Structure formats: C-alpha cells, structure tokens
Structure 1
Amino acid sequence: MSLFITDANRPTILARIAGQCTDEGGCLLWGGATWHDGAPIINVGGQCRRVRRVMWEALHGWLPPPGKLIVAKCRHLRCVSPDCLCCMSVRKLRRLDARRGAFSHSAANVARALAARRRATIPEAVVQQVRDFEGTCAQAAQATGVSLSHVKSIRAGRARKPLTGNVWAGLPTSPNPAPLPTTDEAYGLRVGGVYAAHNIKKNSNGSFPSPLSKGNSNLDPSLVTGLS
C-alpha cells in the first residue's frame, strides 16, 4: 500500500479528484493543476503527485513496478477515468502510439520540432548566421562559437532544419536533367543498333522508319521481330 494513501484517507482523496473532474464522453477530464507537460497533479500528504498514479493506487492498492507507467488508453492528456487507466511499459506505450500514427503525423512532427527549438541552447539567429556564413565550416564555427560538428550538421541540413519554405530545398538535383525521350526517340533507342548496322537513315522529319516498311527489305527479319 502507498505511504500516502491509507484506508482512512482513500475516500477523501477519491472525492477530491472527482470534484475537480468533468465527465465528457466517458472520460473524466481533470480541471485542476497540471504538471509542465500537461499531466494532472494533486497534493497528497504535502507532495505533488500525478493524479493517475494516485487514482490507480487508491483503486488497486498497489504501486506500479519500476519501468511501468499509468496512462490513459484514450490518450487524452487530462483524462483520469478509472475505465481509461492502464499500467504498461514505455515500450508498449510507444508501440501503441506509433500504431495510431502519433509519430508520423505532420502536426506532431512540427510540434516536436518546435519543442526542441525552445529547449535548444543555440538561438535561431546564430543558426541563421551559420547558414549564411560565406566561409568554410571551420571559419563559421570560430565566428559564431558553435562547435565544428554542429556547424557541419546545420549547413548540411541534418540539424535545425527550417520549418518553413520549400520542403524540397537542399535535396540533390541534376544541374542539366535530360529530357524524357519522345515516342519516336524511344523507338529509335530500341532499334537504333539495327539501323546503324544496316546504314538505315532517318526520315525527312527526323523519325525512324518502320523496320518492315518498303525499302527496308535488306534487314534480317530475325533482327526486327517484335520491334515494329
């Protein structure tokens, strides 16, 4: 049994939790204080504790083992409903989140990137200086005070990627991409070797003649089978 929850104070704690929740669609949404990550918290025995753990301990009478979390299956940030609470490992929780698309959703990716930017120790202005610096990576690192390895990652697009602009920017492209061949050109690529072997010239309009057309009787039929 928890040191904070006893048979004497259990009804009072459950009543306090219920008094600060609202029922919405089968979930009990916490309306009291929250932790920095948005998780509901409550003062029990002079200490701030997560409401879900308190609710679990009060209802089941045991603490989750090390490595286990008390989470809401509905995945609502403020839900503390006993019907939604479950005890699972971090690995299983991440697997369930991945299955429902939490890690591949574009909005979630942007939110995580913005959160990482807020925690970053290098200001965005300094990062932009690294991008715009015209010298070498070593010179940029010396001028901005950023480590050489991080400067290389920023300039290569592996770190601190811009969240706006062209999403294809930075991808390798061909300086002079070859145009796709036309129908006649594609046909000529297939049978060009046969024409060259027999000195067959193109038509006046630049296209290749049919291998079986009149005037091409000198072609070996075995060479042009399936090419016309």
Structure 2
Amino acid sequence: MSKEITLKEIYDRCDEVGTCWIWRDATTTGGYPIIKGGGRCLYVRRVVAELNGDAPAFRQPVITTCGDKLCCNPLHVETSTTAKVGQAAAKRRAFSSLSRRMKVAAAKRASPSAKLTMEKATEIRLSTKTGKELAKEYGVNLSVIKGIRQNRMWVDFSSPFAGLMR
C-alpha cells in the first residue's frame, strides 16, 4: 500500500450514511471502491484494513460487517476467509439464481470437451431405451443420463417452462 493514503483522505471521499462511510469515488466494474496510490489502483477496504493494523494477506478477502460493499468505515471493515465469504454467499442464495445457472450451463456447453448437445439431451429425454443403453450409446456416465431425465442437467433455458420441471 502507498503510505500517502490516510483515513482522512478516504473519509473525505465518502458520504456518512448512518454509521457507514459510503464511497462516492471510483469503483471497479463489480462495484468495489478503489483508490489510486503508489501509481496503481488499490481496493479501498484493503487499504483501510492495513491502516487499522490488520493487513490482509495476498488474495485474502476484506469484508464489511454492515454488508454494504461501498462502506469504508474502519469499524465495519475486517479481514475474512474465502470459506466464510462463500458460506455467506450461499446463505443469501447467491449461487442458485436462474441467471447464474444459465451462465454456468452455457459455459459448460461451449466447452470443446462436451460430449452432448441440447438436441442429444432432448433425444435422451424422449427415448424409451434404458439408462444403461443410452449411457453406452452417447459415451457418458449413467448419472448424466439420469440427471438429464430428471431435468437437473442439460436444462433448456430457452423454454419459459424450464424451471417448472424441478
């Protein structure tokens, strides 16, 4: 961190809303506060944690206890672990939204190693063959065939009824 950045400079770039210091300056594309220091952009919350004497390790998450990603109040900023951040995200169901499922599915389907296509998944759903026969025919595991038939895998997100089958 650059030694020229002070808590006063950070406070001057914030609006006090309740007990939070809401950052009103530059942010990343993800909406996290950033500040120029030492010729590079730094995450404000990491700077605040370091100024508080709680210097985060490389890639260690720095969170706010108030939950506002724009808050820079030193009383609300603390270092955390990736496990705790993941658990908090899971509690607020950040990993289970339809848009996230669609993005993950699109990325997997675009993979050159994907053995199936949406058309093949539809054929599997409509087939009267056994799961073992289909697994052998398409070169996939039996669990994939079961997942497709139960509409847990290869869901057709273009259909307005895609989420109703679960």
TM-score normalised to the size of structure 2?
A: 0.62
Q: Which amino acid aligns with 1:132?
A: T
SS of equivalent residue, structure 1 residue 10: coil
Alignment CA distance shift 1:108-1:36 (3 Å): farther
The correspondence of residues 198-217 of structure 1 with structure 2, limited to 5 A, is none
SS of equivalent residue, structure 1 residue 82: coil
Kindly, what percent of the aligned residue pairs are identical? 19
User: Which runs of 5 or more structure 1 residues have no equivalent in the other structure?
Assistant: 142-147, 172-228
User: What corresponds to 1:217 in structure 2?
Assistant: none
Q: Is the 8 A contact 1:102 1:108 kept in 2?
A: no
* CA–CA distance in structure 2, aligned partners of residues 28 and 114 of structure 1: 35
User: What corresponds to 2:42 in structure 1?
Assistant: 49
SS of equivalent residue, structure 1 residue 155: helix
1:116 maps to 2:104: yes
Q: Is the 8 A contact 1:57 1:63 kept in 2?
A: yes
- CA root-mean-square deviation: 3.7
User: What corresponds to 2:16 in structure 1?
Assistant: 23
1:159 maps to 2:150: no
* CA–CA distance in structure 1, aligned partners of residues 11 and 106 of structure 2: 35
Q: Is the 8 A contact 2:156 2:162 kept in 1?
A: no
User: What corresponds to 1:10 in structure 2?
Assistant: 5
Q: Deviations over 1:113-145 (max 9, x none)?
A: 24435655629xx95433334786777x6xxxx
User: What corresponds to 1:202 in structure 2?
Assistant: none
Q: Is the 8 A contact 1:67 1:89 kept in 2?
A: no
Alignment CA distance shift 1:165-1:5 (3 Å): same
1:37 maps to 2:30: yes
Q: Is the 8 A contact 1:42 1:49 kept in 2?
A: yes
User: What corresponds to 2:130 in structure 1?
Assistant: none
Point out the more displaced range, 18-27 or 70-79: 18-27
* CA–CA distance in structure 1, aligned partners of residues 100 and 32 of structure 2: 17
The correspondence of residues 163-178 of structure 1 with structure 2, limited to 5 A, is 164-165=160-161, 167=163, 169=165
Q: For CA contacts below 8 A with separation 6 or more, give which structure has more relative contact order.
A: 2
Q: Is the 8 A contact 2:44 2:72 kept in 1?
A: yes
User: What corresponds to 1:79 in structure 2?
Assistant: 71
- How many residues align structurally? 148
Q: Deviations over 1:94-118 (max 9, x none)?
A: 44455xx313x7x953343244356
